[in-house]
Structure 1
Amino acid sequence: MALQENDPLVNQEAISLRQFKDRDIVTIADRSRLRGRIDAAFMAENVRPRRIFESTASVTALSMANAGLGVAIVDPATASGMSIKGMTVRPLAERIPFFFGVIKPGGHILSPGLAALSEALKAVATQRLSGFRLHGRASSEIIEEALCGYDPALRS
């Protein structure tokens, strides 16, 4: 998540969703799988933001937050990969799963260029994304969670 440098929460190591009660947030549009996980996390904490501003792109949501519309809750890859003057990135205390991946047909070898890209993605994600986990060959449960939003941690 990202917030303006003058926000009262900026000095905290990790920020809980409970601290967004009655605050404005900026996030991605409702049709994304990540947005469903964000909404489920707010529901699990029994927190309702004052207003939710939406964007179809995380970069735009960060710009909206920078303009003062609220605190941005976007994917961690974009938040940690962007350097926006006046904004600070902090982790959320609650776990909200975010997935990205390199998918190839089974039994096929990646071209040298795609193999290098895959290794670069893995290296940057390991360095920048707290809690990053590499799933070699994905199980059907991991794929279901990534594509459909299933997350056992958020189900009761």
Structure 2
Amino acid sequence: MDNDAFNMSISNDKISDVKALEAFQAAMACGSMTAAAKQLGIGQPAVTRQIKELEDSVGFPLFHRNGPRISPTERGLQFYGEVQRLMSGLHQIRERAAAIRDGQIAAIDIAATPTMAGGLLSPTLALMGEDLPGVVNIETMNAEHVARAVTSRAADFGISALPLEHATLEAKVICESRLVAAIAEGGPFDVDGPLALEALSAARLLTVGNAYRIRGKINGALKREDITPSGEIVTNSSLNAMMAARAGLGIAIIDPVTAFGIPVEGVAIRPLSVSLPYIWGLFSAAGRVLPGELLSFAAGFEAACKATIPDCVFHDPADVRTLERSSL
């Protein structure tokens, strides 16, 4: 976000009223001042006043107003992201204070990409047994934000595929497998053995669109073998690609965490005829000394990877930079 958007009078500590931030959150979520007031259990004039005072504090309008209708301004949308992070942090502080008060194990805060959260987090937590704390906070985000959340210690752990900016991170677990094909069970491509890339000459390619991650490896393999898919369906989620494969729309080439961690009925998972590495890991802030329950989480994550992903290989976390370069 640009500096102008946040030219807020912080020096005067004008944004100190949590209730105003809660009113802003509610108005964004509900779409009107009246609905926000009902959600918060206060009067509509109070919500309107709190948001007007917040706008005066930050120095820019948060909403466009058209009678009872409101819609966020561009700066309002940007500010909302910052408020969400702040309020999430305040919520975590309250939870941790309650845990300290009650003599309970502190919460665990995890930042993970959607793939990792969907495919590996639940079995990891289940394997913690009695070490699982009463509160577990999970936020899904892209890899770049995972790194930032761990570095700032907004999260105890980050889980993401490589590459990942990790100059200020410490790898705890590094695991490698291969991209796989997902196809409709009983369909024309559902045959025993590895699926040849040549099959894409007669089928749509279903995959994710980030050229610097899975898609880049697929593009390189197709170029080396001089194969042009008959068409494409591009998405930002491997699970979406699997669902398209189930509908018979083509061949999905996806990560093994989604393929085996989120199995979809009616979808067969097959190895590819070419080896396209997929490496992921568990990270914490560099130099941080982890308490016992967090060490238990790391052990559970390694066990969950081993149990979920066939033929996965573990690497020395200290070799993460070499592995990252070799996987590109």
TM range (shorter): 0.7 to 0.9
Q: Does 1:49 align with 2:222?
A: no
**What is the aligned-residue identity percentage?**
26
Structure with greater helix percent? 2
Give the TM-score of the pair, scaled to structure 2.
0.41
Q: Which amino acid aligns with 2:324?
A: I
- Residue 152 of structure 1 corresponds to which residue in structure 2? none
Q: Does 1:85 align with 2:282?
A: no
Structure number with bigger Rg: 2
Contact 1:34 1:97 in 2 (8 A): no
How far apart are the structure 2 equivalents of 1:137 and 1:13? 32
Deviation at 1:5, TM superposition (A): 0.7
- 1:18-97 to 2 correspondence within 5 Å? 18-97=198-277
Moved over 4 A (4+): none
Q: Which amino acid aligns with 2:295?
A: A
- 1:70-149 to 2 correspondence within 5 Å? 70-139=250-319, 140-145=321-326, 149=328
Deviation at 1:32, TM superposition (A): 4.4
Structure with greater strand percent? 2
Paired positions, count: 147
Deviates more, 1:4-13 or 1:127-136: 127-136
How far apart are the structure 1 equivalents of 2:226 and 2:311? 24
Contact 1:22 1:48 in 2 (8 A): no
Deviates more, 1:97-106 or 1:47-56: 97-106
RMSD: 2.1
Q: Secondary structure at the match of 1:98?
A: strand
How far apart are the structure 2 equivalents of 1:53 and 1:15? 19
Q: Which amino acid aligns with 1:137?
A: P
Give the TM-score of the pair, scaled to structure 1.
0.81
Pair 83,131 (structure 1): closer, same or farther in 2 beyond 3 Å: closer
Q: Secondary structure at the match of 1:72?
A: strand
Unaligned runs of 5+ in 2: 1-180
- Residue 52 of structure 2 corresponds to which residue in structure 1? none
Unaligned runs of 5+ in 1: 150-156
Q: Greater RCO between the two (CA within 8 Å, min separation 6)?
A: 1
